[in-house]
Each structure stands twice: as C-alpha cells, then as structure tokens.
Structure 1
Amino acid sequence: MSAASTTPLAEGAADGPVQVKTGPSGPRTRNATAYLLYVGGKLAGAAVSLFAVLVTSFFLFRVIPGDPVRTMTHGRPVSPAQLVHLRQQLGLDLPMWRQFTEYCTKALSGDLGTSYQFHAPVWDLITQKLPATLLLTGVAVVIYSALGLWLGTRSAWGHGGLGDKVNTGVALTLWSVPSFWLGLLLIIIFSVGIGPIPGMFPTGGMESGGLTGFAYVTDVAHHMVLPVITLVAVGYAQTLLVMRSSLLDEMGSDYLTTARAKGLRDDLVRRRHAVPNALLPTVTMVFINFGHVAAGSILVETVFSWPGLGGLFYQALSVPDLPLVQGLFVVFAGAMIVMNLLADLLYPLLDPRVGR
C-alpha cells in the first residue's frame, strides 16, 4: 500500500478499516479549492452589488421633485422651443429604458456623464474634490477607529466597572447626537465665541488663501480641527460598541481560562488571545469606516463649507444635477462595496476556519 495515496488503516470502523487519502489530493488541496470558491463567491457578490448600485442610482434620483431643465434656466427668458431643444441635448426626451441602457453602458466604460450644472465631466469634478474629502474624513476615520478599538477593549475587559459605564454612556450619548447639530454647536462655541470663550477656529472652509509651505499646512490643519472633532465624536461609538460586544462574547471561553491557568498575565491573555479572536466583526466595521472616506460626510462638509465630495453632492441635489448625483452615489456605494470585499478576503487570514 502506497504511503502517497493512503494513510495507515483506521481502526474501529463498522465494516472494517477505512482508507483516508492524503498527499496531493488530500485535505490541503480541498482547503485551497474551498478558499478559491470562497473568494469567487465574494467577488461575484460584489459584482452583483455594484450592478444593483447602478440600477438604484438611476431610478432613485429620478423621483426627486424638480425639473433639471427648469432649474437650469430659472430666471432666464427661455422659449418653449429652447426648452425642448435643451431636453434633447441632455437626453431627457428619450424613453426611460433607453436612458437606462445608455447610462449603464457609459458607466461600465468609466463615463459617468456630464454635469448639467458645471458643464464638465462628472469624473473630473469628483477627482477635483476627492483629495479634500480624503484628507478630512481619512484623518477622522483613522482616529475614531483606533479610539473605538482601544476604548471598546478597555470597556469589555473592565465590564461593569466605572470606566465601562462612563465609556459606553458617553459613546451612546454622542452617537445619538446629529452631526450637523454638533458641528453648529462647535462653531458657535469655538469659532464665534461665547462669553469668556474667544473664537479660536475658522467658521468654515479649508484654507485662508495666499499661504505656501509650512504655513499652508498649519493653516489647513487649523481649519480641520472642528470638522474632525465632529466626525470623531459621532463616529467612534459604533466601533467601541461592536468591539466591546465581541470581546464580551469571548471572555467566557474555555481557552481564556486555560491561558490564565498556565500563569499568563491578564494583559497577555487579553492582548494575545481574547482580542485577536474578537476582531472579526470589528474588522468589518473598520473597513466600512474606511469605505466612508470616499463618501465623506455630506452634513459635516456642508456645515463647515469644506470643499469636498459631500458639499458637491449637496449642490448636485439642489438642482437636481442627475449625472453628478448618480456619479457620486456610485462612487460612494462602490467604495463601501470594495472595502467590505477586502474585509471578507481578510477574514481567512484572521480565522483559518473561514473559507474552508
């Protein structure tokens, strides 16, 4: 009997010995195949989700009240014939199914259309505003993800204590506060000034203008303080609560009792055993947070007049500028789908049981 094809005979079977295959076609090959099937399924799911986003972005924003042509020509003497000609130029006179097929064909080729309002390609407008959004929300997401993970771990490990009650209470309070209201409150207190508190920060914008070099960097950082605080205050609670809940589920496990029985310090038990096994749900949350980087925060960017994608989306909705609204929606949702896909592909590295 070849060792490459079989292992020693397994005893105790009802009908005699059982041959268990190993070697090239054994468990390792099956696991690799299962992982490839897992990856393929996730990629297929992401592709279906992206197509659903295209369909949703087309039909959803056509129910918004308002006529783009009337809005664009508001206050101008325009004849009915000119209105008809403008509708033909924009393709709004075509049947809905024809508009949809043309939209999907162009979107799949990377053409998101031309903005009604700015008369420029939608993709060019997005790339112009994207750096400001990445800067603001990227810094905020890194801070509140790290803060949520750290405080969530501390709260769970000290479950029921004063620190846990304070952390969860503050987090739930801030999570329930509307971001635009908190932003306005910070502007009133720290930009306008109340009583003895002088105005220390700009009321809005990204820069003062006319500065270069290090002075420009510090000026932009000065403008970022209040919007970043607003995003962090509202955003860290969700990561904290998910991490806390996941770690609490792990704390009653037998392997932690065994680790303590071996004499490991409590800090090592938490850091090397409990936290890694509690990370799966939190990894998804962190990746979703990074998916928010592209979307930014429409309300916060609008309140602080931040020149990013959030403010651009608000301007597009006010017309409504259908190509620009649709393009931004696709970018926002696409970023979330891609980051969720990356989280799914990372799962097997954190827990080998996933994807097998």
Structure 2
Amino acid sequence: MSTASTAPLAEGTADGPVPVKTGPSGPRARSARAYLLYVAGKLGGAAVSLFAVLVTSFFLFRIIPGDPVRTMTHGRQVSAEQLASLRRQFGLDLPVWQQFTEYCAKALTGDLGISYQFHAPVGVLIAEKLPATLLLTGVAVVIYSVLGLWLGTRSAWHHGRLGDKVNTGVALTLWSVPSFWLGLLLIITFSVGIGPIPGMFPTGGMETGGETGFAYVADVAHHMALPVVTLVAVGYAQTLLVMRASLLDEMGSDYLTTARAKGLRDDLVRRHHAVPNALLPTVTMVFINLGHVAAGSILVETVFSWPGLGGLFYQALSVPDLPLVQGLFVVFAGAMIVMNLLADLLYPLLDPRVGR
C-alpha cells in the first residue's frame, strides 16, 4: 500500500504535480536569510558611520582658530611654565596621533573626557542638559510630525485646490526662513511687544524660579511657547512638503484605480492604500527628526537662552572646549545614525519588497 505525500502540491506539470519546498531552502527561509543579510548590512553601515563620526569630531574642531588654554586664562597673568603645565594636564602637548588614539579608546568605553571650562566629565554635563532639550524638541517633533503628515496628506489628495495652494505656499515660505531669524522675530513681537501687541511671553530661559506643582508646569509651558512655535513652524513645513510629494507620486498608480473600481470609498482608498505606500520617505524624515530630539536645535536654544544641549554646544564652541564639543558632536551625530538605522529596519514592515 502506497503512502500519500503530505507535502503541499503546486500547479501540475506534464509529469504530475510538483511539491512546494517548505523546508530550509523554501521561499520563507530564503526571505528570512535575505532580511538577515539586509539587517547585517545596515548594522555594518551604522558602525562605519559611527567610526567616521569619531574621526570627524576629533579633527574637525581642531582646525578652529584659537588656543583653548590661552582662552581659559584670558585676562590673567600666566607664565609660560603655567601654560605648559595646563597643556600637559589637558593632553594638548601630546602628538596628534596619540591624542586621537586615546580619544577613540576612551570614547568606545563611554568616556568622553573632562571639560576644559567646567572641569567636569563631559558625560555628566550632557546628562544634566539633556532633559531640557528632550522636553523642548520632543514636544515640537510630535506636534509638527502629526501636523505635517495630516496637512500633507490632505494637500496631495486635493491638489490644485485653494487649500492645497495655501498650505504649499505657507510651507515653502516657512521652510525657507532661518529658524534663528524667526525666533528673533517672535521675541520682538510677542516678548518685547510691538505696536498694539503687548509683550506676553518671556524672552528666554526655562523657568522664572520659585514655582512648584502645577504653577511650575504652567511656568515652564509659558517659557516653552515661543521656542516650540519656532521649531514647529519650520519642521511642519518640511514634513508637509515631503508627504505631499510622496503621496502625489502614488496617486496615479493602477492599484488605486483598481481599489476605486471595486467600489471603495475615497477616504478608505486614501487611508488604507495610498497613504501606507507613500509613507516610506516620510518615515525616514520622521526618524531623523526624532534624532534631532537628542541634538535639539542649537540656534533656537541659543536665541531663547534655553538651558539645553544646544546652548551648551554654543558655550563649548566659543572656547573651544574640545572634549565637550567632541562629546556633543558624537551624541548629536550618533542619535541621527541610530534613528536612521531604526527607519531602515522598519522599512520591510511597511513594504515587504525592501530587504528581499
């Protein structure tokens, strides 16, 4: 008595049905291997990028004019022996190649050095300023990502109409405006006051001081208002324009015509078919914006005297405080690389063709 095969059968041929391979060499296994190779390639690329950041952060800021030791001792009577002693203390008397190897070895263990001007570990200084930056830019990124995606989708779906023209015109104008200039304009208008508009918001800082509980939260929100509006105005414009362009590329596709021919409502065609396929470029930009949460906005934080990483970077650059500048640069660039990597790893979940 013959035993029936339990393997699933494909379409028949002249010699009979052909079994579908479901074992280690089947389509599912090949897809898994392809995805693992895709992930490995992206991880390797991220590692190379991080090493390039270390190299760049070391050499880039050493071409800045100025002597850190002389800047820190400016206005004080300091002998040549004392200057030489300070250079030895900070390791500035070593050959450049030795400074570089020591910097890389310490950075790989998480040691970013000691700040010249604050005489404290760079990692501690960054940890102290990070919450203020996360609060400011985190709120701004969430607001302008949601706003940009929503308005970009509506503008593309109703392209050519009055609303699309107004949205696109405003977005193009705001995207071309320097963020520090917009911040200064808001300070002049709503902090100092101009004409009939009184000064309603503080000119800078994060808090007035002396407040607790809900009053403290309201005080911080009051100080955040103008810098958040500045970041949202520029950020939402970029998100809107990218989402609009991506969705317009999808709107002429055959699968949308087929979906409409099946009798699907227009809003279902947009939400379940067009928008998911148009999200890939926007996902990259949203994740890069999430990377900016760690980096903050140096110019906006400086204009509004916000006590975050942006203001700390400006202080370090004015010396230049090499360990602090290098450490902040590594944190800023590293956050961008990690967020870009996460976007790449998310792509196959949105579009199965990626990584196959």
TM-score normalized by the length of structure 2: 0.96
Q: In structure 2, the residue corresponding to 1:278 is in which secondary structure?
A: helix
List 4+ stretches of structure 1 deviating above 2 A: 1-12, 16-21
The equivalent of 2:48 in structure 1 is 48
Change (3 A) 1:124 1:17: same
Query: Is the 2:9–2:17 Cα contact (8 Å) retained in structure 1?
Result: no
CA–CA distance in structure 2, aligned partners of residues 169 and 2 of structure 1: 69
Query: Is the 1:133–1:294 Cα contact (8 Å) retained in structure 2?
Result: yes
Query: Which amino acid in structure 2 is aligned with residue 342 of structure 1?
Result: L
The equivalent of 1:11 in structure 2 is 13
Deviation at 1:240, TM superposition (A): 0.8
The equivalent of 1:314 in structure 2 is 314
Query: Which amino acid in structure 2 is aligned with residue 281 of structure 1?
Result: P
The equivalent of 2:102 in structure 1 is 102
Q: In structure 1, the residue corresponding to 2:13 is in which secondary structure?
A: coil
Change (3 A) 1:63 1:183: same
Equivalent residues in 2 for 1:230-309 (5 A)?
A: 230-309=230-309
Deviation at 1:35, TM superposition (A): 0.8
1:169 has 2:169 as partner: yes
Query: Is the 2:182–2:230 Cα contact (8 Å) retained in structure 1?
Result: yes
Equivalent residues in 2 for 1:76-115 (5 A)?
A: 76-115=76-115
Deviation at 1:53, TM superposition (A): 0.3
Query: Is the 1:155–1:167 Cα contact (8 Å) retained in structure 2?
Result: yes
CA–CA distance in structure 2, aligned partners of residues 209 and 62 of structure 1: 39
Deviates more, 1:129-138 or 1:232-241: 232-241
The equivalent of 1:24 in structure 2 is 23
- Mark the runs of 5 or more structure 1 residues left unpaired by the alignment: none
Q: In structure 1, the residue corresponding to 2:231 is in which secondary structure?
A: helix
CA–CA distance in structure 1, aligned partners of residues 33 and 259 of structure 2: 34
CA–CA distance in structure 2, aligned partners of residues 8 and 137 of structure 1: 55
The equivalent of 2:227 in structure 1 is 227
- Cα deviations by residue, 1:21-77 (Å, 9 ceiling, x for unpaired): 512221111111111111111111111110000000000000011100110110111
- Cα deviations by residue, 1:301-322 (Å, 9 ceiling, x for unpaired): 0000000000000000000000
Change (3 A) 1:40 1:4: farther
- Cα deviations by residue, 1:75-134 (Å, 9 ceiling, x for unpaired): 111000111111011100101100000000000000000000100000000000000000
Deviation at 1:11, TM superposition (A): 3.2
The equivalent of 1:34 in structure 2 is 34
Change (3 A) 1:7 1:203: same
Deviation at 1:6, TM superposition (A): 8.2
The equivalent of 1:200 in structure 2 is 200
The equivalent of 1:179 in structure 2 is 179
Q: In structure 1, the residue corresponding to 2:146 is in which secondary structure?
A: helix
Change (3 A) 1:3 1:214: same
CA–CA distance in structure 2, aligned partners of residues 2 and 328 of structure 1: 67
CA–CA distance in structure 2, aligned partners of residues 111 and 149 of structure 1: 39
Query: Is the 2:136–2:228 Cα contact (8 Å) retained in structure 1?
Result: yes
- Cα deviations by residue, 1:200-258 (Å, 9 ceiling, x for unpaired): 00000000000100000000000000000000111111111111111011101111111
How many residue pairs are counted as aligned between the two chains?
353
The equivalent of 1:120 in structure 2 is 120
The equivalent of 1:59 in structure 2 is 59
CA–CA distance in structure 1, aligned partners of residues 341 and 79 of structure 2: 51
Deviates more, 1:322-331 or 1:40-49: 40-49
The equivalent of 1:324 in structure 2 is 324
Query: Is the 1:7–1:22 Cα contact (8 Å) retained in structure 2?
Result: no
CA–CA distance in structure 2, aligned partners of residues 124 and 10 of structure 1: 69
Deviation at 1:17, TM superposition (A): 8.3
RMSD: 1.6
Query: Which amino acid in structure 2 is aligned with residue 38 of structure 1?
Result: Y
Query: Is the 1:57–1:330 Cα contact (8 Å) retained in structure 2?
Result: yes
TM-score normalized by the length of structure 1: 0.96
Identity rate, percent? 84
CA–CA distance in structure 1, aligned partners of residues 74 and 164 of structure 2: 56
Deviation at 1:195, TM superposition (A): 1.6
Query: Is the 2:10–2:20 Cα contact (8 Å) retained in structure 1?
Result: no
Query: Is the 1:294–1:331 Cα contact (8 Å) retained in structure 2?
Result: yes
Deviation at 1:3, TM superposition (A): 4.8
Query: Is the 1:4–1:22 Cα contact (8 Å) retained in structure 2?
Result: no
Deviation at 1:161, TM superposition (A): 1.1
- Mark the runs of 5 or more structure 2 residues left unpaired by the alignment: none
Q: In structure 2, the residue corresponding to 1:289 is in which secondary structure?
A: helix
1:141 has 2:128 as partner: no
Query: Is the 2:204–2:306 Cα contact (8 Å) retained in structure 1?
Result: yes
